[in-house]
Amino acid sequence: MKRTFRAVCTLAAAGLAIGLTACSKTADKAADKAAEQVDKVVTETYEVTYEVTGKGVDSIDFHGGGGEAMKPKVETVQKPALPWKKTVTLRGIMPPAVMPVAADTSGSEVTCKIIYKDKVLKEEKGQGLVTAGGCVAVSPVGSN
């Protein structure tokens, strides 16, 4: 009886070891795939086009691609000629953003757009004495 018990325990231990090895390999593959997806999201680049139309715009701030993903460098154009258009390359989860600022005593009208692959990701309109609006979208990387 001791031999039978020992044989069963040995077989059970061997089966457990094989099962754990199989689980370990499956877990490793899943972790590798997850790491690849994170790497892609962090390093992949994408292009967006910002458009601003209207009247009375004093400046335009926008994410131009520099800085860190969650702390992008903001670039500024003073006294832009309208309509204004700029295509930039952003990286990873960096959000595309364009923020026109207008202060006109006779009123201002401003529309901003963020375009990715011919699709409008975000569009906003504003009017009035002071318009400090903007368009901020979510990065399209990783959402495909």
- Of residues 56 and 4, more confidence is placed in 56
pLDDT at 34: 60
CB contact at 8 A, 122 and 114? yes
Instruction: Tell me which H or E stretch contains 39.
Output: helix 2-43
- Of residues 17 and 51, more confidence is placed in 51
Distance between the two ends of the chain, CA-based, in angstroms? 61
Tell me the two tokens of residue 104: 């006109």
Model confidence over 86-122: pLDDT tens digits? 999 999 999 999 999 887 767 778 899 999 999 999 9
Q: Which of 48-52, 65-69, 110-114, 127-131 has the lowest mean pLDDT?
A: 127-131
Confidence of residue 68 (pLDDT cuts 50, 70, 90): confident
Tell me the two tokens of residue 46: 């994408």
CB contact at 8 A, 60 and 111? no
